[in-house]
Amino acid sequence: MNDKTPFLDIRHARKSYGSLEVIKDISLTVDRGEIVAIIGPSGSGKSTFLRAINDLDPLTGGEVWLEGTQVNKKLPHRQYEKHINQVRQDIGMVFQHFNLFPHLSVRGNITLAPKMLKGLSDADANKLAEEQLDRVGMLDRIDFMPSQLSGGQKQRVAIARALAMKPKVMLFDEATSALDPELVEEVNQVMKKLASEHMTMIIVTHEMGFAESVCDRVLFMDQGVVVEEGPPSVIFRNPESERTRNFLRKHL
Ligand code: ADP
Ligand code: MG
């Protein structure tokens, strides 16, 4: 890798489900520390695109590269499993519905992957869990079960769980969409804190105000393409495309 190697580089991404083409030749390069928002109507392919970045939804065409390593490499099964387990440690993902393991405590949720995938001792994994929970303001809930937490608290634990793997980039897929309105802010605050620490992030969101306040760049997606991209000041205040303007009229 040299200085010119892009941090995260998605080249000519395509994805079809049968005859339905949901990602149509999207290329995106993200710099280290950059924060990119993806906005767009429901069904435009935002989640599919995000999930393709760590190969959860493998692309049908194109390549994803992270720091000079191809994520969606074609490899024999065993080698692929080893490879993808490795690269996914670098790519944290947070979903709309938290996806905490319901039968594990907060501590158990956070220590599981570092123990299993990184071979951390109980003591080291516990220390890591405490650090990451402190980061999201949830240290006092370390021995709670997920069912004892509010939606906002669950999402903060899910973020801490992703951070515990020390990822190079964090992907957020509508992290606040399932929350009651009064719980949105506590999760947004955590994302803002990560932004201030220069975490590289790609954030799919319906919250235009939030996107405008934290993101360096905004992509507007519609029907599987990036219709328009630019700094928030341009996309939200002075978009070029009629499709972007139409969407924003309904969502700003
Ligand atoms: P968004 O996140 O922007 O709402 P999605 O990426 O979820 O959009 O979906 C994009 C399109 O792909 C939609 O038409 C959706 O119905 C379709 N789609 C998503 N996942 C699947 C799947 N597993 N099988 C078939 N079609 C899918
Ligand atoms: Mg989605």
Instruction: Report the predicted TM-score, pTM, of the whole model to 2 decimal places.
Output: 0.96
82: which 2 tokens? 């080893």
- At residue 3 the predicted structure's pLDDT band, cuts being 50, 70 and 90, is low
Element (H, E) at 23: strand 20-30
Q: Which atom of ligand 1 approaches the CA of 50 most closely?
A: 6
Question: Whose CA is closest to atom 6 on ligand 1?
Answer: 45
pLDDT in tens, 169-210: 999 999 999 999 999 999 999 999 999 999 999 999 999 999
Query: CB neighbours (10 Å) of residue 78?
Result: 8
pLDDT of residue 252 exceeding 80, the answer is no
Residue 111: band (very low, low, confident or very high) from pLDDT cuts 50, 70, 90 = very high
What's the complex ipTM? 0.98
The CA–CA distances, whole Å, from 6 to 34, 73, 146, 222 equal 12, 17, 38, 25
Percent of the chain with pLDDT over 90: 97
Cα(58) to ligand 1 centroid in Å equals 13
Least confident of 4-8, 131-135, 167-171: 4-8
Please name the residues in contact with 211: beta carbons below 8 A apart, sequence gap of 6 or more. Answer: 37, 39, 203, 205, 218, 232, 236
**How far apart are the C-alpha atoms of 70 and 10, rounded to whole Å?**
10
**Ligand 1 pocket residue status of 58, Cβ below 6 Å:** no
Is pLDDT at 213 greater than 90 in this prediction? yes
pLDDT band at 5 (very low <50, low <70, confident <90, very high): confident
| E strand residue ranges, 153-250 | 169-173, 200-204, 217-222, 225-230
Residue 1 confidence (pLDDT) above 80 = no
Gap from CA of 19 to ligand 2 centroid (Å): 20
Ligand 1 atom with the smallest distance to the CA of 44 is 3
Overall residue count recorded for the chain in this entry: 252
**Tokens representing residue 43 in the block:** 């069904």
Give the pLDDT band of residue 125 (cuts 50, 70, 90): very high
46 lines ligand 1 (CB under 6 A): yes
**Mean pLDDT value across the chain:** 96
Tell me, letter by letter, the H, E, C secondary structure of 33-100: CCEEEEECCCCCCHHHHHHHHCCCCCCCEEEEEECCEECCCCCCHHHHHHHHHHHHCCEEEECCCCCC
What confidence tens digit (pLDDT) does each residue in 73-99 have? Answer: 999 999 999 999 999 999 999 999 989
Distance 43 CA to ligand 1 centre (A): 6
Q: Residue 4: what pLDDT? A: 77
What is the arithmetic mean of pLDDT over 46-70?
97
